[in-house]
Amino acid sequence: MNIDHFRRGLLAFEHQLMERLGDEVDTVSRPDRADPSNAGADVGDLSQVDELEDEYLALAQTDSAILAQVRAALRRIDEGTYGKCLVDGEPIDEKRLESLPWVAYCLKHQTALEERERFHTQTM
């Protein structure tokens, strides 16, 4: 496995996520978004602004979570554990890493984790 290939890809994606997060935060915190009444907005306009802010905040939350996973993958590269499942240390399929280079679990353990989370959510 070419670790440098994955490192370069992860670093580029980290940079892209940081830029996107900055744009999302800037969009939500723009003065005209914070107080749309200054522009003579009606109730419908205010509602649309609220919905857009919610969408941008949801995008920022998702991007932030992925950024944390990307940075964790970069740490695993530095530690020499990249590409190995965190549960049993077995290799993660390279095709899986190509599509999701920040994954920390093999498909078997990722599936088990998601099933546990789904069960936990359903029982609440």
Distance (Å, whole) CA 13 – CA 7: 10
- Measure Cα distances from 124 to 110, 116, 118 in Å: 21, 13, 10
Instruction: Give the per-residue pLDDT at 46.
Output: 60
CB distance 77 to 3 below 8 Å: yes
Mean pLDDT, rounded, for 68-79: 98
CB distance 20 to 27 below 8 Å: no
Instruction: Give the per-residue pLDDT at 105.
Output: 97
At residue 54 the predicted structure's pLDDT band, cuts being 50, 70 and 90, is: confident
Instruction: Give the per-residue pLDDT at 95.
Output: 96
At residue 39 the predicted structure's pLDDT band, cuts being 50, 70 and 90, is: low
Mean pLDDT, rounded, for 69-85: 97
pLDDT above 90 covers what percent of the chain?
60
**E-strand stretches of 50-90:** none
Q: Where are the domains of the chain?
A: 3-122
Query: CATH fold of 3-122, please?
Result: Four Helix Bundle (Hemerythrin (Met), subunit A) (1.20.120)
Radius of gyration of the chain (CA): 20
Distance (Å, whole) CA 105 – CA 124: 26
Strand partners, 91: 84
